[in-house]
């Protein structure tokens, strides 16, 4: 896996641009309903602006599009942009599946393995601080390169916290 692309997190610019492309049909409909006769001309600017933004809030995204002179937003566009996080979630999943296929990643942990996870992750997927929490693997998401972890030593069902393989450490 040398020269592998970085593992996708919600705040990766490429992931956000995929989410913006997914949301584009709704933005296009808003623009056409508002009388814009050439909305396709701004598609690239909208996708770039949303891809570069570190926001998920519809109002803040609309303000950013306004500040960048890309669109003249209204409350209807804010409502459309409020759904950006859902598209971002789907884009993360699709990007992770593609990452696993591209890199050939194979899980090294199994259900019941004892591991540690960071106490907190930043939105970009980096550990915040140095504190580690003892956990156990409750489920393996091989298609996305993630594990479901539960605090403690014994898994109780398949639910828990989703963590990317990049931040999990095996414990003795």
What is the tens place of the pLDDT at every residue in 102-139?
A: 999 999 999 999 999 999 888 778 889 999 999 999 99
Residue 144 has what pLDDT?
Answer: 94
Contact 67, 56 (CB under 8 A): no
The pTM (predicted TM-score) of the whole model is 0.79
Rounded Cα gap, residues 170 and 103, in angstroms: 22
pLDDT band at 152 (very low <50, low <70, confident <90, very high): confident
pLDDT digit string, tens, across residues 49-67: 888 887 788 999 999 988 8
Contact 114, 153 (CB under 8 A): yes
Rounded Cα gap, residues 53 and 90, in angstroms: 17
- Mean pLDDT confidence for 4-16: 85
Which residues, 6+ apart, have CB-to-CB distance to 65 below 8 Å? 46, 49, 50, 71, 73, 77
Burial 129-163 (b: 16+ CB within 10 A, else e): eeebeebbbbbbbeebbbbbbbeeeebeeeebeeb
DSSP string over 21-85: HHHHHHHHHHHHHTT-S-GGGGHHHHHHHHHH-----HHHHHHHHHHTTS----HHHHHHHTTHH
Of 26-30, 90-94, 159-163, the one with minimum mean pLDDT is 159-163
Looking at the predicted structure, is the pLDDT value of residue 40 above 70? yes
Residue 37 has what pLDDT?
Answer: 64
Residue spans of the domains in the chain: they are: 13-103, 114-170
């Amino acid at each position: 896996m040398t020269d592998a692309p970085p593992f996708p997190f919600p705040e990766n610019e490429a992931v956000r641009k995929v989410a913006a492309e997914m949301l584009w049909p709704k933005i296009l409909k808003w623009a056409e309903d508002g009388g814009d006769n050439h909305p396709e001309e701004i598609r690239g600017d909208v996708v770039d602006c949303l891809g570069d933004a570190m926001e998920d809030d519809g109002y803040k995204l609309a303000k950013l599009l306004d500040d960048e002179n890309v669109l003249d937003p209204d409350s209807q566009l804010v409502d459309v942009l409020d759904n950006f996080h859902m598209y971002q979630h789907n884009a993360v999943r699709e990007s992770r599946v593609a990452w696993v296929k591209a890199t050939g990643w194979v899980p090294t942990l199994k259900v019941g393995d004892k591991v540690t996870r960071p106490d907190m992750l930043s939105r970009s997927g980096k550990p915040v601080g140095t504190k580690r929490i003892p956990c156990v693997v409750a489920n393996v998401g091989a298609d996305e390169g993630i594990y479901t972890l539960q605090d403690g030593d014994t898994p109780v069902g398949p639910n828990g916290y989703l963590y990317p393989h990049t931040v999990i450490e095996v414990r003795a």
